A = this chain, B = another copy of it.
Amino acid sequence: MTLGRFGLRKNVSRRDALKLLTVGAAGITAESLVPGSFGPSSDQSREIDVVIVGAGFAGLVAARNLLRAGKRVVLLEARDRVGGRVKGGELAGHLVDVGGMWLGPTQTRLLALINEYGFHTTPQFDKGKIIVDLNGKRVYAEADRTGLDSAAQAEYDRVVGELSRLSAQVPLDAPWTMPQAEQFDTITVEQWLESQTKNRDFMAFLQLCTRTQFTAEPFQMSLLYFLFYLRSGDSFDVQLGYDANSAQAFRVKETMHQLAVRVSKEIEKAIVLEAPVTEISQDENGVTAKSAKGEWRGNYAIVAVPLPLSVRISYRPALPPQRDILAQHMPMGSVIKCLFAYDKPFWRARGLSGITTSDAPPSAGFFDISPADSEIGILGAFIEAHNAINWTGRPMQERKKLMVDRIVSFFGPEAANPIDYEDQDWPSEIWSRGCYGATMAPGMMTTAAKTIRQPFGRIHWAGTETSPRWMGYIDGAIRSGERVADEVRTLLNRK
């Protein structure tokens, strides 16, 4: 077994998975967004049909779909770029993703977008042995093994089986209706795990899986939320692997961020960058959004920012209390994404996949994301959850040293001098304040979360946190954008 964001290898060929993709004929030239190249011309109307807040994939897709339906739209983005939690960077002269990057074969809405725009997927490398480091013991294992000893593996099979059995009972549209929902919503994942096993290695393993999957600690989230999330993203196995069936099966060759840029090009006249929205007011006739770039008036608003941050906008009239309560109990995960470039992927020559799995700070694991069309090697890693809380806000050079030392401990002295380093400290990024997604603390899913997709008057909600399917993933963001565009288009057509 191999872990990335993170999961089980199965004997399914990558070719089978790729059949789901019709690979586009041509890639696009990588482009950078130049702030100011977007936005309304001075004669563009401030009176439109829909004001959309947030140009991550949810907002981009909502805007695109409404524009294609002939609606007048403005898409207001606080940053000087599109993509939200998907962000581009450069490492040793290569374009890289310093935000969301992976996808899997059942993420069909993201795959459709990749296909539509003629982008390409590239498989995740996982050939060779993995290194598993648990409770201070280090083993080399085949990539299709967990590296757990037989006792821990037996516990893995039994307890993960129970997770699968329970999560299969979660109705994705209404998790609060599953059997025992209220009970499961009052306990944490950690608490449940402790009731299931005494095996220390397996416990450490499940803890690190939770940490890497949610960028939160297992003692911080509701078991009911965890079960919902597992089903939302197919299963524990799919979410936690690197294989061809997993949620980490592929990356986008041109980078995921360039895909966001490409969508934005289609609708660039509607996008206004560096326009943080501070207030949304509504009355019986419409909505008004105030931003740093002035006001827009529309029939409806779509808010497509991370749910916990959505309450930092002022609403007039005020938001219903349940939504505010939900936001207060649904913190963003904490993660720092780190990338290391080497002259070559030297670990491969030694039969290593570059994949490590560890319960020790600062990172649950490394992985190999070397480009296919280059000699250089790239390792990636996340500093997750509590480790991220300890390392966020500090100088990048401190994190580089910390992480390079860790790579050396796995791959030897050749790892000591990367030719380039880059990291993205998501909790410090003020328009995300964390990554990957927001997780629900105990008690929310059976109470305030029932309103998660409920429009507030003329204000509709999008963002991956609102998606029943692939919640927390880019695919979920796209689905939420499609759903909310449908909602609002239907209302507009009814007028």
Chain A positions within 8 Å of B, measured between CB atoms, are 186-188, 190-191, 217, 219-220, 276, 278, 308, 311-312, 314, 318-322, 324-325, 328-329, 331-332, 334, 386, 389-390, 392-393, 425, 427-428, 430, 433-434, 441-443, 447-448
Contacts and interface: CB of A to CB of B under 8 A. Distances in A.
Contacts of A443: 217, 219-220, 386
Contact of A386 (B278, B320, B332, B447): B447
Contact of A328 (B187, B322, B428, B433): B433
B392 A219 contact: no
Contacts of A393: 320-322
A442 B443 CA distance: 14
Contacts of A318: 428, 430
8 contacts: A187-B190, A188-B188, A188-B442, A219-B442, A276-B314, A324-B433, A325-B334, A329-B441
Nearest to A430: B318
B219 A448 contact: no
Given A328-B433, A328-B434, A321 B190 contact: no
Contact of A312 (B219, B311, B334, B448): B311
A182 to B, nearest CB: 10
- Considering residues A186, A308, A321, A392, which has the most beta carbons from chain B within 10 angstroms of its beta carbon? A321
Nearest to A451: B393
Nearest to A336: B321
B220 A324 contact: no
A491 B389 CA distance: 30
A186 B386 CA distance: 11
A325 B219 contact: no
Given A186-B190, A320-B393, A321-B425, 18 more contacts: A187-B191, A187-B219, A188-B188, A220-B329, A220-B441, A278-B278, A308-B328, A318-B428, A321-B389, A322-B392, A324-B433, A325-B331, A325-B392, A325-B427, A325-B433, A389-B447, A389-B448, A441-B441
